[in-house]
């Protein structure tokens, strides 16, 4: 049983690495047996695929450093904690705090997943970042939004108008094979089911405030200069 699970996870992580879909969150080595029965994932902060200053001048180095090493790390730590507490609750058959820890798991798990994707769908301008999508990704955008400009304006508006902290996400919805744009509040609210995020922009203030202050629209406009369309296309292919 244990072996089967291990093999399954290994296969899963190889598929994730091969397809490059957003975060390679789980590998077999990161599965740990708990003292209380069952297993847990030892979640880890993924390395940035570029230097902190690589997205300058569109996103400044200090913001990237804090965002990755402090904010994203906090979501990883929070997710581990929430899952440990749920594991302990099962062992003790004491679910008095199940709502609290489930909520923490959703918030921090959402944060971990989305940030892991966020780093990957960006690249230094002119070195993988910026420009416009092409190939099958462009075809799919045209099919579902009319053209690239209409998609971009829809996505930008969604990002600008998120209430409070959140995200704009481009999802692939499996049930009708469409790309759709959604907003996310915090890291998880307003999520839809049967969808896979393939592109996202973080519009929490911590993502832009040092450089842009209250000018979120300016940040959103500049962010297009660092979008890694090749990665988005890979994410879409994996989701399809
Ligand atoms: Mn963030």
Q: How many Å lie between the centroid of ligand 1 and the Cα of residue 70?
A: 10
Tell me the mean pLDDT per 10 residues along the chain, length 240.
Answer: 42 40 61 82 96 98 98 98 95 96 97 97 98 98 98 98 98 97 96 95 98 98 98 97
CA of 53 to the centre of ligand 1 (A): 17
What's the CA-to-centroid distance between 210 and ligand 1, angstroms? Answer: 13
Task: Note the pLDDT of residue 26.
Answer: 61
Residues 194, 122 contacting (CB under 8 angstroms)? no
Q: Is the pTM of this model over 0.75?
A: yes
Predicted confidence at residue 30, as pLDDT, reads 83
Nearest to 231 by CA among 185, 197, 204: 197
Q: How far is CA 96 from the centre of its chain?
A: 30
Cα(163) to ligand 1 centroid in Å equals 15
Look at residue 25 in the predicted model and tell me its pLDDT. Answer: 55
Residues within 5 Å of ion ligand 1 by Cβ? 202, 204
SS3 of 167, please? strand
Domains of the chain, with CATH numbers? 5-120 (1.10.287.990), 135-239 (3.55.40.20)
Question: What integer pLDDT is reported at residue 12 of this predicted model?
Answer: 41
| pLDDT on residue 22 | 46
């Amino acid at each position: 049983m244990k072996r089967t699970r291990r093999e399954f996870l290994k296969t899963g992580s190889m598929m994730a690495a091969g397809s490059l879909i957003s975060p390679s969150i789980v590998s077999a080595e990161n599965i740990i047996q708990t003292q209380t029965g069952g297993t847990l994932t030892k979640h880890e902060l993924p390395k940035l695929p570029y230097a902190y200053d690589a997205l300058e001048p569109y996103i400044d180095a200090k913001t990237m450093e804090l965002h990755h090493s402090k904010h994203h790390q906090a979501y990883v730590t929070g997710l581990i904690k929430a899952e440990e507490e749920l594991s302990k609750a099962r062992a003790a058959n004491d679910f008095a705090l199940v709502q609290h820890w489930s909520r923490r798991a959703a918030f921090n798990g959402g944060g971990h997943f989305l940030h892991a994707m966020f780093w990957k769908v960006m690249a230094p301008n002119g070195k993988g970042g910026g420009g416009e999508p092409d190939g099958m990704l462009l075809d799919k955008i045209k099919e579902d939004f009319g053209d690239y400009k209409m998609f971009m304006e829809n996505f930008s508006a969604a990002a600008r108008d998120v209430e409070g902290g959140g995200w704009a996400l481009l999802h692939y919805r499996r049930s009708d094979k469409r790309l759709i744009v959604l907003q996310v509040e915090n890291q998880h609210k307003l999520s839809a089911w049967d969808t896979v995020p393939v592109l996202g922009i973080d519009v929490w203030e911590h993502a832009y405030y040092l450089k842009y202050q209250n000018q979120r629209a300016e940040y959103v406009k500049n962010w297009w200069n660092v979008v890694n369309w090749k990665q988005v296309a890979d994410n879409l292919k994996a989701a399809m």
